[in-house]
Amino acid sequence: LIRWPGVIEPGTESTAPIQNIDYAPTFLEVAGAEIPEAIQGRSMVSMMKDGCRASSTWRDAVYYAYYENAAVHMVPVHDGVRTERYKLMFFPRGRHWNLFDLETDPQEMKSVHDDPEYADILAGLQKRYYDLRDLYDVNTATIPATRGDEPGWQKRNLSMSKLAKTAKPKLAFIGDSITQGWEGRGKKVWEENYAELDAINLGIGGDRTENIVWRLTHGNLGKIKPEVAVLMIGTNNTGHFMQDPTQIAEGVEKILSILQEKLPKTKIVLQAIMPRGKTKMDLMRLNNIAVNDRIAKMVDGENIVYVDLGDHFMNEDGTIDPAIMPDYLHLSEKGYEIWADALSPTLQSLGL
C-alpha cells in the first residue's frame, strides 16, 4: 500500500511486479539521495509517476530464491522466476523443474513443465531464469544451506557441534565424505597419526561448499581453537551439479573468510580437491582441476597454505588404482595411508 499525494491517484491498482529489493532505491530517489551501484533493485518512482503501469520499460519477471534454514520448512530449497501469468521453479536436489500457468491454475496444482503445448513457454522462462541469475550474480556455492531434513546429516551435524563445545584439538579436518571417511576406512590411520593431536573430524558425506558455510556459522566450530585446520571441499559441487569452477572457488573462498574470522590464529591448509574418475579426461576430474587452478591463488603467505596432493593418488598415466580409490572417488585404507603420509610434511612445517 502506497500513498503519495500528487503522484499516485487514490484507488490505483497496479500489476507491475515489484520486489523487496526495490524499496531501498525507491526511498533513496524520493529523498534525492544517490543510489549505490551495489543495490540490485530498481526504483519504483518512474513507474509510480506513470500511473503505476506495468509498461514495457518496467521489469518483465521477478527472480526469487527460497533458502532453507535451521527450521527446515516443508518447502524444499528452490528458486525461480515469476511473470504476470507464469511461474517457473527449479529444485536443485532433484534437478527438476515445475511450471505453472497461473491463469488456468492459480492454486498451482498441476505443473505443465512436460506438456508439449508449453514447450516454448518453458524454454523462454528457462532462458529468463538463467539471465536473471547472471544479472544478480546468484551463486549457490556461497549461500549457507542446511541439509537438516536428512536425519543422518542432522544427527552428525548436532554431534559435531556438541563435541566442538568441549574439544581442544590441535588439528581439525573440514570437508565432505572423504574427510568423514577418516572414521571409516581411515580409522586406523587416523588413530596412528592424529589421535595424539586430539584431532577433530568435521566432515559430512555429501556436503558441498554451501553446507560447510552453513555448518561453520551454526555451531560446528564451537569453542575449538586448533593450531591447524585442513580444508578440502568442492567435489560434490562438481558431482552433484557440475557447477561452474569459478562459482565453486567462490564458495571455498567464502569458507576461508569464515575460518579466518572465527579462528584468526589458526593456520589453514587449503587442500586441492582430490582427483576422481578413471582417466585424465573424466569431465568431473577436469572440473575439479579447474577449481584447483582458482583456489591455488587464495594463499595469503601468512595463514593459508595450499597443497595439491593429487599426484600421490594417481598412476603415471593419470589413471587411479581402485586399490586406492575403489569407486574412483572415495579412499580405501591404503588411500588414507597415502593421504596421511603426503600431508605430513605440511603439518610438520606448521608445527604439528
Q: Which of 39-42's residues contact partners 24+ apart within 8 Å by CB, and which partners?
A: 40/135, 40/136
Task: Say if 149 falls within a structural domain.
Answer: no
Number of domains in the chain: 3
CATH number reported for the structural domain that contains residue 288 in this entry: 3.40.50.1110
Grid coordinates belonging to 76: 524444499
Q: Are residues 277 and 179 in the same domain?
A: yes
Q: Are residues 166 and 274 in the same domain?
A: yes
Q: Which amino acid is at 177?
A: S
Task: Say if 154 falls within a structural domain.
Answer: no
| φ, ψ (nearest 5 deg) of residue 168 | -130, 65
Q: Considering 106, 137, 168, which residue would you say is the last residue of a domain?
A: 137
Task: Say if 7 falls within a structural domain.
Answer: yes
Task: Please tell me the predicted confidence (pLDDT) of residue 71.
Answer: 60
Task: Please tell me the predicted confidence (pLDDT) of residue 57.
Answer: 87
Tens of pLDDT along 298-333? 998 789 999 999 999 999 999 999 999 999 999 999
Q: Which amino acid is at 276?
A: R
Residue 176 · residue 203 · CB < 8 Å: yes
Q: Are residues 214 and 296 in the same domain?
A: yes
Q: Are residues 101 and 207 in the same domain?
A: no
Tens of pLDDT along 124-137? 999 999 999 999 99
Q: Are residues 125 and 250 in the same domain?
A: no
Q: Are residues 124 and 182 in the same domain?
A: no
Q: Considering 59, 76, 103, which residue would you say is the last residue of a domain?
A: 59
Residue 294 · residue 260 · CB < 8 Å: no
Residue 146 · residue 93 · CB < 8 Å: no
Q: Are residues 240 and 129 in the same domain?
A: no
Task: Please tell me the predicted confidence (pLDDT) of residue 54.
Answer: 85
Q: Tens place of pLDDT for every residue, the chain, 352 residues? A: 999 999 999 999 998 999 999 999 999 999 999 999 999 999 999 999 999 998 888 999 999 998 765 566 677 788 999 999 999 999 887 889 999 999 999 999 999 999 999 999 999 999 999 999 999 999 999 999 988 888 999 999 999 999 999 999 999 999 999 999 999 999 999 999 999 999 999 999 999 999 999 999 999 999 999 999 999 999 999 999 899 999 999 999 999 999 999 999 999 999 999 999 999 999 999 999 999 999 999 998 789 999 999 999 999 999 999 999 999 999 999 999 999 999 999 999 999 9
Q: Are residues 118 and 186 in the same domain?
A: no
Q: How far apart are CA 278 and CA 322, in angstroms?
A: 9
Q: Are residues 4 and 98 in the same domain?
A: no
Q: Considering 137, 170, 200, which residue would you say is the last residue of a domain?
A: 137
CA distances from 63 to 17, 21, 105, 113, 323 (A): 10, 11, 20, 18, 47
The CA-based angle 281-282-285, given to 5 degrees, is: 105
Task: Say if 210 falls within a structural domain.
Answer: yes
Task: Say if 143 falls within a structural domain.
Answer: no
Q: Which residue from 216, 300, 320 is spatially nearest to 259, judged by alpha carbons? A: 216
pTM of the predicted model as reported, rounded to 2 decimal places: 0.86
Q: Are residues 186 and 292 in the same domain?
A: yes
Domain housing 344: 160-349
Residue 78 · residue 90 · CB < 8 Å: yes
Task: Say if 15 falls within a structural domain.
Answer: yes
CATH number reported for the structural domain that contains residue 104 in this entry: 3.30.1120.10
Q: Are residues 225 and 299 in the same domain?
A: yes
Judge residue 309's burial from the number of C-beta atoms within 10 Å of its C-beta, 0-12 exposed, 13-18 middle, 19 or more buried.
middle
Q: Are residues 344 and 248 in the same domain?
A: yes
Task: Please tell me the predicted confidence (pLDDT) of residue 301.
Answer: 79
Task: Say if 334 falls within a structural domain.
Answer: yes
Task: Say if 311 falls within a structural domain.
Answer: yes
